[in-house]
Amino acid sequence: MTTPAGIDPRGPRFAATITTVLLLAATFLGLVGISTARSFGWFAYQPLAASDFGSDTWAIVSATVAQRALDPGFLLTVVIALLFLWSVVSPPTAPWGVLFRRFVRPRLAPPAELEDPRPPRFAQGVGLVVVTVGIVLHLVGVPWALPISTAAAFIAAFLNAAFSFCLGCQIYLLLQRAGVVGRAASPA
């Protein structure tokens, strides 16, 4: 098996920068939204039973699935998940990659070296899994699930954007050494 053509390593870092901003916004919206809100009997997203009056519960627990799905943090996280999915399914057409190739890369010097595209693609898949877990748990009414999942993805994206340390890529390389994914490139 041959190694796929290399990619400019600055492209995934550019995408991680945009993703970092989106995930920061999603985390903030998750923190101020229904996921972390408390309801106090008389102030809830949905009327509570008389026995619940005065009780201190999580608002997300008493909210309907529609109310959970219309939460701004949830909606932004769904958009982010779709962008992750797009990057996994069709990396050449993913928006941040197209933006980088058309507008940013022409203004830069050629890269010193190219990198294997499989680790960054795997990292996008890891991001997809992390935010999807938050989405699903949010929909079933688990408090704090959404901001915790977006914060975890934010940390990984920030490490890549700020320090060029791709956590998902490192996981890929560990799995590759263990023989779980891909074959290591043969020395040339």
pLDDT for 136 equals: 98
pLDDT for 40 equals: 61
Helices then strands (H, E): number in the chain?
A: 8, 2
pLDDT for 55 equals: 55
Domain ranges of the chain: 10-177
pLDDT for 84 equals: 98
Rounded Cα distance, 152 and 28, in Å: 13
* Average pLDDT per block of 10 residues along the chain, 188 residues long: 75 97 98 89 47 69 95 98 98 96 96 95 98 98 97 98 97 95 62
Reported pTM: 0.86
Spell 79-100 as b/e; 16+ CB within 10 A means b: ebbebbbbbbeebeebebbeeb
pLDDT for 186 equals: 53
pLDDT for 185 equals: 55
| Local structure of 7: helix, strand or coil | strand
pLDDT for 4 equals: 58
pLDDT for 47 equals: 47
